[in-house]
Amino acid sequence: MKYAIVVERGDTSYGAYVPDLPGCVAAAETRHEVVKLIKEAIELHLEGLRADGDPIPAPHSEMEYVEVSVA
């Protein structure tokens, strides 16, 4: 399965979350590290859902960039 993630850069760190898995988040000092950690967080989140007998949400979010003009 492939889940869309959102990576946000802060002043001193990076954060990431998964729109299709509320509560699934990660934070780290580098972009590379936060991507690694969010992957692990997704796997743990899905394991927890499975262990609780909850359904695994199918990925449905899509990511895209749009270009806009700023005057």
What amino acid is encoded at 3 in this protein? Answer: Y
Q: Where are the domains of the chain?
A: 1-71
What amino acid is encoded at 9 in this protein? Answer: R
Residue 71 pLDDT > 90, yes or no? no
Indicate the fold that domain 1-71 takes in CATH.
Double Stranded RNA Binding Domain (3.30.160)
Quote the CA–CA distance of 50 and 39 in Å, as a whole number.
17
pLDDT tens column, 3-62? 999 999 999 999 999 999 999 999 999 999 999 999 999 999 999 999 999 999 999 999
pLDDT at 51: 98
Q: What is the dihedral of CA 10, 15, 13, 44, to 10 degrees?
A: 170
